Structure 1
Amino acid sequence: MESPHSSSKYHHPYFTPAEVEYLSEKQRGKLSITQEERVRQNACAFLEGLGARIGFPRRTIATAQNLYHRFHLFFPRKDFSYVDVSLASLYVSTKMHDTLKKPRELLAVSYAIRFPDLVAKSKHPGGEIDLDAMDQQVVERDRQRLLAIERLLLETVCFNFTSRMPFPYVIKLGKAFGASKKLTKLAWRLTIDCHRTLIPIQYPPHIVALAGLYVAALLSSFGQPVTPDDSGSRTPHEIAEILGKNGDWEQKYQAQVDDLEGIAHTVIDLLIQGAQSQTANTSPRTPSSPSPHPSPRTPHPSVVEPQLPSIPYTADQLMRLKIVMRQTEHEQRTRQPLGSADPSALYSGDDVALLGRNEGTVRFLFGPPGVMGDEI
């Protein structure tokens, strides 16, 4: 008699850029990189709008965005609507941060964002949709789909509910480097925008926060005259100069200057997209605005215009900044995967089919191999 299949899954808190590129290409399917990015920004905007309407704290929204990014490293985009994955990601995030909402509550708010015509018919003064007045088969089908994806998400993170955010580090690092409150606030905003990208699943939160401070200093100093701060704070020029070169800060904060530069280019690329499209976009937080989020039954959600951060810089200014950065940047080192195995190998075998099923035995371990003992 054949014995049941047995395997182990290891939680990888962070992935190298090479791993992310490999896994993303594998799950992208026939989508181009541009189309994939467009769907990703649609999902992040949907989570922003949903979180803002409900009143979730920033940590809940940011973690949901991270879960969405992580999910599609292992599951094809063609098999799932970004709306369904986003809702499931937010539901899991509410559990992780003790801001729990029931699936039906999340669905009710999502319907209000996705289907503004239903909001117009609603008699609720806040514009909420009464689920009892909707087709219960549709609501139940959407709820079951959310719960099914929730299970896949939990297995993807190996049931590890640990979630460290970069936001507290922004405040601490701002004080440590003598940044002004204005510069620290900009760094905070840029750190929020980082979660629209794959940065937080590639780097620990303290490096993401440090990069946010670096990008804020670059944006505040580029093309601007050096003016001393009367409050005694360091100028953006000084902070950009420190973080743009090798120094003692690297050992102190366990970071590398080439990591900050790589993150900076990713964030600035996102800002360029926002600068190019912000005039054509409307905010999903405004109930009267046309909804930028399609029905999950829409064949191609990637044709919808994404909502990108609104910024006071033009695309030309940001492109010039990238050119200047290229002239002095450091060579990117090759990062080694955590543990002793590439996570792409762990999820590329026959046992990947066991995810979401009850066949065989799957052990979920809270760390990568080599970090967590294989004998556990």
Structure 2
Amino acid sequence: MQSPPTPHSSSKYHHPYFTPAEVEYLSIKQRGKLSVTQEDRVRQNACAFLESLGARIGFPRRTVATAQNLYHRFHLFFPRKDFNYVDVSLASLYVSTKMHDTLKKPRELLAVSYAIRYPDLVAKSKHPGGEIDIDSMDQQIVERDRQRLLSIERLLLETVCFNFTSRMPFPYVIKLGKTFGASKKLTKLAWRLTIDCHRTLVPIQYPPHIVALANLYVAALLSSFEQPIASDPGTRTPHEIAAILGKNGDWESKYQAQVDDLEGIAHTMLDLLVQGVQIATLNNTSPRTPSSPSPHPSPRMPHPLMETLASSVPYNAEQLTRLKIQMRQTEHEPRPRQPLGSADPSALYSGDDVGLLGRSEGTVRFLFGPAGAGDDF
């Protein structure tokens, strides 16, 4: 009698950051028939939904930001057409609560999500806080949603190789602001830009200190472009900070950063701001805009946070576009970035690596470091 074949053994390596080429390759692969604009709309809907959930529950910023990062990472490996963004968002937030010790049970997250997604149920609720009694709902529906959340949680854990390490850029914003002599106003703007930065793929492409440095650079650009020079005693002007970070200097070796990386992130953030300014302008001019915001924001609409940030920027879309054009005239040639470890990105993501996710056949070793990272030790 022939013995059954021995299950194969394989390894999957954790990649804390991806190069822009890797992100582009994987995004095209998982986008399917969606256009780039449609994909970005779904991404913004998911991030807005997470913002709404986090605000209602009172999660700290690190929990919401990590959940957004997990959502972005998930769809580098799994097709968008196979998953509803609400389900992936809930699972991402659930995993993030574990990573930051702000744990909530799946049923608690579902209850808050129902209040956001179904405002008609909130209107019928007798709870003074506008919450929905999940026990009064169809328990088959609730259990089905809970099981779907837990199944996606497993896939999310595999995408990060069960690595619960999470480093945030927010502490770096404060430290770098003090180091560069930025005013409190400028540092606050950089902080808010860093919050909205998690609506993009930037935090899964760059380490947190580079993300923080880039948003300080963007804040300085926004506060200096076509603006008069004004300084607070004991601080550098935004013009000075923008000039320092906009060209090569000793700061690059000191902070292990490159000026072309900052410029690339700056363009991404300016594009996001243009979108936010356009939305804010549309809402302010629309005759359907209510006089006061709805207490039940829809996950399909951009979160007010981005609109608030956009309204604080003293520019319209045309001026932001002029800033982008001026940057293009003096910016540096982007250097080629190699993937972490020794694997070639086209070979690494040809299907073998992704095929290990969500499968039970054989033995899969999930390793915290990228392939080849420890070969020299």
TM-score category, normalised to shorter length: over 0.9
Equivalent position SS for 1:72: helix
**Within the alignment, does 1:320 sit opposite 2:322 as a pair?**
yes
Structure 2 distance, partners of 1:190, 1:351, is 34
For the Cα contact (< 8 Å) 1:272–1:318, is it kept in 2? Answer: yes
Measure how far apart 1:370 and its partner are. 1.1
Measure how far apart 1:287 and its partner are. 5.6
Structure 1 residue identity aligned to 2:30 = Q
Distance verdict in 2 for CA 1:240–1:108, change over 3 Å: same
1:97 match: 100
Q: 1:292 aligns with which of 285, 290, 298?
A: 298
Structure 2 distance, partners of 1:205, 1:184, is 16
Deviations 1:277-309 (A, max 9, x none): 1245589x96634x433xxxxxxxxxx443471
For the Cα contact (< 8 Å) 1:6–1:360, is it kept in 2? Answer: yes
For the Cα contact (< 8 Å) 1:9–1:346, is it kept in 2? Answer: no
2:112 match: 109
Structure 2 distance, partners of 1:255, 1:352, is 30
Equivalent position SS for 1:8: strand
Deviations 1:177-206 (A, max 9, x none): 000000000000001111000000000000
Structure 2 residue identity aligned to 1:211 = A
TM-score by length of 2: 0.92
Q: 1:124 aligns with which of 127, 131, 137?
A: 127
**Within the alignment, does 1:159 sit opposite 2:185 as a pair?**
no
Structure 2 distance, partners of 1:326, 1:23, is 27
Deviations 1:35-55 (A, max 9, x none): 000000000000001000000
Structure 2 distance, partners of 1:95, 1:286, is 32
Structure 2 distance, partners of 1:216, 1:73, is 29
Measure how far apart 1:3 and its partner are. 1.7
1:82 match: 85
2:343 match: 341
Structure 2 residue identity aligned to 1:269 = D
Distance verdict in 2 for CA 1:210–1:182, change over 3 Å: same
Q: 2:362 aligns with which of 360, 363, 366?
A: 360
1:60 match: 63
2:302 match: 306
Q: 2:242 aligns with which of 230, 240, 243?
A: 240
Structure 1 distance, partners of 2:176, 2:346, is 34
Structure 2 residue identity aligned to 1:292 = S
Structure 2 distance, partners of 1:358, 1:374, is 32
Deviations 1:247-306 (A, max 9, x none): 0000000000000000000000000011111245589x96634x433xxxxxxxxxx443
Measure how far apart 1:352 and its partner are. 3.6
Structure 2 residue identity aligned to 1:334 = P
RMSD: 1.9
Structure 1 distance, partners of 2:356, 2:327, is 46
**Within the alignment, does 1:226 sit opposite 2:229 as a pair?**
yes
Alignment of 1:256-271 (within 5 A): 256-271=258-273
Measure how far apart 1:228 and its partner are. 3.3
Structure 1 residue identity aligned to 2:71 = Y
1:275 match: 277
**Higher mean Cα deviation, 334-343 or 178-187?**
334-343
Structure 1 distance, partners of 2:353, 2:249, is 45
Residue ranges of structure 2 left out of the alignment (5+ in a row): 284-288
Structure 2 distance, partners of 1:262, 1:204, is 14
Deviations 1:216-243 (A, max 9, x none): 00000010111232x2100000000000
Measure how far apart 1:372 and its partner are. 3.7
Q: 1:330 aligns with which of 326, 329, 332?
A: 332
For the Cα contact (< 8 Å) 1:7–1:351, is it kept in 2? Answer: no
Measure how far apart 1:317 and its partner are. 1.3
Structure 2 distance, partners of 1:149, 1:342, is 28
Structure 2 distance, partners of 1:165, 1:185, is 16
1:298 match: none
Residue ranges of structure 1 left out of the alignment (5+ in a row): 294-303
Measure how far apart 1:344 and its partner are. 5.6
Q: 2:251 aligns with which of 234, 238, 249?
A: 249
Equivalent position SS for 1:187: helix
Equivalent position SS for 1:73: helix
Q: 1:70 aligns with which of 67, 70, 73?
A: 73
1:40 match: 43
Structure 2 distance, partners of 1:331, 1:253, is 20
Deviations 1:28-73 (A, max 9, x none): 0000000000000000000001000000000000000000000000
2:286 match: none
Structure 2 distance, partners of 1:351, 1:206, is 29
Distance verdict in 2 for CA 1:96–1:344, change over 3 Å: farther
